């Protein structure tokens, strides 16, 4: 058995280093690949380290079973897949080697020279360095085209972000292959050009430096500064707590001094950090549940300092040109558990941000004011995207990329999709388009519920529904075929977006592909679901799916005509081929009827369990009356019925229940 991704076939992965992060990297590989029969070898020269690493990994696996994260059968496969050994000979035959040893260039060099002698020319060499450039790490490797940095974040088995850093000799196609491979195993990879510390660590370590400088100046205790940083930046934990949790004092102390030499003079290890590192001491942080109070004056001073530093650091990284702004915005939020810097700047207002950074740079004279911030101020803020658009020869590929919310839709995302389609509408070199989602779990998890919860009146509901519909109408009536590649489940607005496309294909074997879950939350589909689904699968079948909110598997979706086919291999590749064939007239797709469709009278009796009878009556009206209208009139009816849901008590109950208890707890509807 093997795990196959495009032209990469993996049967064995070796992780070198059983210290802080290596076992966690191996654990993620085991979780993702053990069911494909992949062996994960963890090698270290220390038997004691290996013993501790094995115990740690097995404990985490059992914790996952106890929490219901995975089944006992998977747990056993994970344990069996992971082999802990001091025998380097086990590395032979690996297709992928990840070094996770001490941050020492000579140790890394020694490891990779030994590994290269044991592996063939197709083996991929990755270093989990947190700072060093690939040109330094792989300086003595003969086949430098197969070498990159893959920088994981703590904890590596859970934190989704991986920085992919190619060297100057790395094969470009290998970089793209690895970006796709990591996405296929559940990570969120971003590409970063070679630079000391890469894109995210200079921001994290710069925030830590700021915290320690505040402490040295007497602006507050470690506990107070941590609390202010959390408030200022939306951090999961403060910088002192993060350093303690990750054992990060030594590596941060070393990294800051090196960044001072290689990036800019502002980076410098504070004396207090040197002392903590030498004494092997942690910081005095708040205990779990301990509340830290700050005076308003102290809090304001610290909040402004942290925000000034954060915005200066993020724009500095953008200034040196090593990463895309959207990648950096997304990856900072997910890897550091912090507010996304550029979206945060837009929310605060670019003029206020400009002043904060000006003040910060004035008091930190070795920190140059970032040039990109001048441009952003002139343009009124940052232009950010939640989609990635790329031309694949004669097909435009649009990927919805909001991994934190499983690609949930809002009006901004739909507007970005429409804008990309508009840009190539008159481009004769583009014959068709494909829309897909980032990752492997969800195509689109639904509409952004924060947006829906903000609606207050039937008029607002009508307008929201109508605005969604307008973009989907544009896609449906687009002059070129648009194929939806459903890479995972499509719920609510995701399924409605898919149905507006010319054709849909999905991954084969998905137990859950599509669902219109709106009635669980006390409202009805409002982006065309009540009108397009009946025209695709038939009125009564659609009504049963819509009224019960049950899920549809990929197999059933194919059988009832919701999807054109199930794809067994490269989903996006097959979608691109299908789009091309439709454009060339080689494949004809049955389009959705714009006219009224035959309806067998009224709604059938249906058991809806705990669901709201009030909402069900509104939904039935939308489905059955809409089916007797042309599509445009039916969609308008749907918008009016969606707006009517806002007059009900059950919509309030449904949304509040979801917000408080999540999707698994049934709402106590009162049918009003």
Judge whether 549 and 645 are in contact, CB under 8 Å: no
> Active-site residues: which are they?
496, 518
On the 0-12 / 13-18 / 19+ scale of CB atoms within 10 A, 219 is middle
Q: Rounded to the nearest 10 degrees, what angle do helices 222-233 and 296-319 cross at? A: 60
Domains of the chain with bracketed CATH: 3-191 (3.40.50.720), 201-379 (1.10.1040.50), 387-661 (3.90.226.10)
- The full 3-state SS of 123-177, as one line of letters, equals CEEEECCCCCCHHHHCCCCCCHHHEEEEEECCCCCCCCEEEEEECCCCCHHHHHH
How many other C-beta atoms can be found within 10 angstroms of the C-beta atom of residue 364?
A: 16
Q: How far apart are the first and last CA of the chain?
A: 56
Contacts of 122 (CB under 8 A, 6+ apart): 95, 146
Of 67, 65, 4, the C-alpha closest to 33 is 4
On the 0-12 / 13-18 / 19+ scale of CB atoms within 10 A, 229 is buried
Q: What are phi and psi of 168, to 5 degrees?
A: -65, -20
Q: What 3-state DSSP class applies to 657?
A: helix
Judge whether 205 and 258 are in contact, CB under 8 Å: no
Q: What is the pLDDT of residue 599?
A: 65
Query: What pTM value is reported for the model?
Result: 0.94
- The full 3-state SS of 138-149, as one line of letters, equals CCCCCCHHHEEE
Contacts of 125 (CB under 8 A, 6+ apart): 97, 99, 112, 115, 116, 138, 141, 146, 147, 148
Per-10-residue mean pLDDT of the chain, 672 residues long, equals: 94 96 97 97 96 96 93 96 97 97 95 96 96 97 97 96 98 97 97 98 98 98 97 97 94 96 97 96 94 95 98 98 98 98 98 98 98 97 97 97 95 96 97 97 90 90 95 97 98 97 97 97 96 96 97 98 94 97 96 85 86 96 95 97 96 92 92 95
Q: What is the pLDDT of residue 603?
A: 81
Q: In what order do the strands lie in the sheet with 514-515?
A: 442-444, 489-491, 514-515
Judge whether 194 and 129 are in contact, CB under 8 Å: no
């Amino acid at each position: 058995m093997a795990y196959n991704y495009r032209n990469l076939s993996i049967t064995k992965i070796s992780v070198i280093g059983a210290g802080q992060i290596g076992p966690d990297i191996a654990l993620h590989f085991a979780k993702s690949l053990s069911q494909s029969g992949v062996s994960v070898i963890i090698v270290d020269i220390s038997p004691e380290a290996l013993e501790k690493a094995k115990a740690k990994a097995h404990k985490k696996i059992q914790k996952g079973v106890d929490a219901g994260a995975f089944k006992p059968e998977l747990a056993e496969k994970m344990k069996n897949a992971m082999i802990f050994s001091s025998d380097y000979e086990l590395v032979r035959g690996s297709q992928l080697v990840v070094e996770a040893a001490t941050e020492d260039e000579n140790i890394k060099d020694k490891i990779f020279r030994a590994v290269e002698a044991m592996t063939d020319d197709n083996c991929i060499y990755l270093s989990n360095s947190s700072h060093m450039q690939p040109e330094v790490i792989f300086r003595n490797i003969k086949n430098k085209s197969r070498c990159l940095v893959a920088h994981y974040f703590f904890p590596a088995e859970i934190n989704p972000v991986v920085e992919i850093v190619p060297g100057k000799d790395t094969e470009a196609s290998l970089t793209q292959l690895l970006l796709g491979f990591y996405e296929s195993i559940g990570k969120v990879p971003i590409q970063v050009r070679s630079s000391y510390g890469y894109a995210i660590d200079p921001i994290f370590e710069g925030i830590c430096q700021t915290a320690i400088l505040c402490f040295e100046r007497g602006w507050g205790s470690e506990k107070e500064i941590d609390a202010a940083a959390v408030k200022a930046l939306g951090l999961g934990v403060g910088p002192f707590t993060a350093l303690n949790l990750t054992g990060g004092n030594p590596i941060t102390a070393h990294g800051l001094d090196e960044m001072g030499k290689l990036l800019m003079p502002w980076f410098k290890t504070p004396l207090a950090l040197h002392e903590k590192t030498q004494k092997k001491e942690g910081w005095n942080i708040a205990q779990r549940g301990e509340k830290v109070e700050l005076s308003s004056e102290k809090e304001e001073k610290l909040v402004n300092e942290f925000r000034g530093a954060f915005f200066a650091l993020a724009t500095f990284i953008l200034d040196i040109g090593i990463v895309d702004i959207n990648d950096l915005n997304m990856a900072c939020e997910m890897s550091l558990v912090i507010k996304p810097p550029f979206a945060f700047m837009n929310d605060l207002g670019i003029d206020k941000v400009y002043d904060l950074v000006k003040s910060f740079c004035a008091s930190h004279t070795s920190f140059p004011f970032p040039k990109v911030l001048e441009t952003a101020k002139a343009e009124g803020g940052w232009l950010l995207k939640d989609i990635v658009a790329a031309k694949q020869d004669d097909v435009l590929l649009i990927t919805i990329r909001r991994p934190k919310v499983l690609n949930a839709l809002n009006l901004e995302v739909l507007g970005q999709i429409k804008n990309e389609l508009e840009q190539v509408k008159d481009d004769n070199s583009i014959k068709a388009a494909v829309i897909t989602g980032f990752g492997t779990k969800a195509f689109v998890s639904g509409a952004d519920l924060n947006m829906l919860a903000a609606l207050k009146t039937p008029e607002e509901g009508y307008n929201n529904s109508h605005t969604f519909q307008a973009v989907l109408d544009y896609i449906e009536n687009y002059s070129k075929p648009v194929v939806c590649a459903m890479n995972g489940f499509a719920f609510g607005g995701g399924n409605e977006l898919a149905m507006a496309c010319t054709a849909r294909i999905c991954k084969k074997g998905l137990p859950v592909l599509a669902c219109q879950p709106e009635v669980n939350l006390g409202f009805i589909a409002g982006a065309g679901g009540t009108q397009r689904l009946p025209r695709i699968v038939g009125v009564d079948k659609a009504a049963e799916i819509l009224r019960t909110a049950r899920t549809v598997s990929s197999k059933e979706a194919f059988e009832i005509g919701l999807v054109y086919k199930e794809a067994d291999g490269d989903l996006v590749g097959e979608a691109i081929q299908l789009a091309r064939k439709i454009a060339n007239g080689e494949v004809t797709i049955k389009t959705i009827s714009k006219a009224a469709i035959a309806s067998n009278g009224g709604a059938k009796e249906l058991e809806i369990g705990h669901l709201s009878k009030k909402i069900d009556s509104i939904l039935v009206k939308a489905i059955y009356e809409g089916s007797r209208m042309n599509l445009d009139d039916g969609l308008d009816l749907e918008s009016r019925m969606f707006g009517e849901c806002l007059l009900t008590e059950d919509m309030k109950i449904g949304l509040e229940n979801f917000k408080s208890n999540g999707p698994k707890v049934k709402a106590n509807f009162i049918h009003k």
